[in-house]
Amino acid sequence: MSVPVAFIGIILIWSTTPLAIKWSAEDVGFLFGVASRMMLGTMLCIILMTLLGRKLSFNRAALHVYLAGGVGVFGAMLCVYWAAQYISSGLISVLFGLTPIVTGLIAAVFLGEKAFTLSRLMGVTLGIIGLAVIFSQRINLGEHLILGVIGVLSAVLMHSISGVWVKSLGINMSALEVTTGSLLFSAPLYFLVWWIFDGQFPEAISERALGGIVYLGTFGSVLGFILYFYVLKHIEASRVALVTLITPVLALLLGHQLNNEVLNLEVWLGSGCILSGMLLYQWGSRLDAIYSS
């Protein structure tokens, strides 16, 4: 597989995922939308594992990895789907751009990685300023904006915890195996939550909602994750992180064009602060070197 093609594939999938999340919950409820997506993704992963002749490990170490991965697959995605009721798809992508910063801070605490340099502190500050600018627009973007932002930030926190937890385990497993195991852990929980808090099959599913569910189950839950780890294996992690700078801009434009989402100056300013903060956090080492000298 061509690395540039895989890289472009990740950008396209991650840019369209937030909008697909909103569409997949239309008329059917967010619980049915996310549960059906994860069920489909789980079945596809099992089929793929079978076709490739791979067996899923169920030893103690592997189960630990699946549990750690499941925190992100279940906890984070459930929060995102809930938040999508109150926040635009573009802002979901922008707020998820904070993931590298939150992950870095958690890794500094639990893995002893260096996090609190001048550039990184400046990056965190810019991210907070960006959030404040976005919060200031709650009247124009809806009174429930704060609920959506809190939901996505909770998802970012759980996604980051999951990533650091998996990394701390140091288990050498394929991306497909980790994905399949994490989905097997999460899918029953999604079904249980849907059954308890909803439990009603929709009388009808619109073409847009059905398309969103199928797209996310196939591309978002399976292909996107596999492409990400493929690219990560072949190029530097810092270059892979460029994806999180590109996707929010595309997601904002897609949400505005295809879903009539509000896109005013304050949204761009807040998003710009968050993305600039992430840029400083990820690649501000030269600034630190100048300051040290």
SS (H, E, C) the chain: CCHHHHHHHHHHHHHHHHHHHHHHCCCCCHHHHHHHHHHHHHHHHHHHHHHCCCCCCCCHHHHHHHHHHHHHHHHHHHHHHHHCCCCCHHHHHHHHCCHHHHHHHHHHHHCCCCCCCHHHHHHHHHHHHHHHHHHCCHHHHCCCHHHHHHHHHHHHHHHHHHHHHHHHHCCCCCHHHHHHHHHHHHHHHHHHHHHHHCCCCCCCCCHHHHHHHHHHHHHHHHHHHHHHHHHHHHCCHHHHCCHHHHHHHHHHHHHHHHHCCCCCHHHHHHHHHHHHHHHHHHHCHHHHHHHHC
Assigned token pair, 212: 């969103």
Between CA 42 and CA 32 the distance in angstroms is 15
What integer is the mean pLDDT of 167-179? Answer: 82
* Residue carrying the six token digits 């980790």: 178
Q: What angle do CA 51, 54, 58 make, to 5 degrees?
A: 135
Alpha-carbon gap, residue 182 to 198, rounded angstroms:
23
31 — pLDDT class (breaks 50, 70, 90) = very high
**Residue-level pLDDT at 116:** 65
pLDDT of residue 192: 96
pLDDT reported for residue 237: 52
The model's pLDDT over 249-290, given as tens digits with 9 standing for 90+, comes to 888 889 888 988 877 777 788 888 888 887 777 666 665 565
pLDDT tens by residue, 12-22: 998 999 999 99
- Select from 50, 47, 69, 66 the least CA-distant residue to 58: 66
**CA distance between the termini of the chain:** 44
Other residues' Cβ atoms within 10 Å of the Cβ of residue 73: 29
pLDDT digits (tens, 9 = 90+) for 121-159: 787 788 888 877 776 765 555 667 888 989 999 999 998
Residue 284 phi/psi, 5-degree rounding, is -95, 15
Q: What is the pLDDT of residue 30?
A: 94
Q: Do 209 and 36 contact (CB within 8 A), yes or no? A: no
The CA distances from residue 260 to 27, 90, 141, in Å, are 18, 11, 12
> What does pLDDT average to over the chain?
84
State the pLDDT at residue 83. 94
For residue range 66-100, list pLDDT tens digits in order.
999 899 899 999 999 999 999 888 889 888 878 87
The whole-number pLDDT of residue 103 equals 79
Predicted confidence band of residue 240 (pLDDT cuts 50, 70, 90)? low
Query: What are the pLDDT digits (tens) for 206-231?
Result: 999 999 999 999 998 888 877 876 77
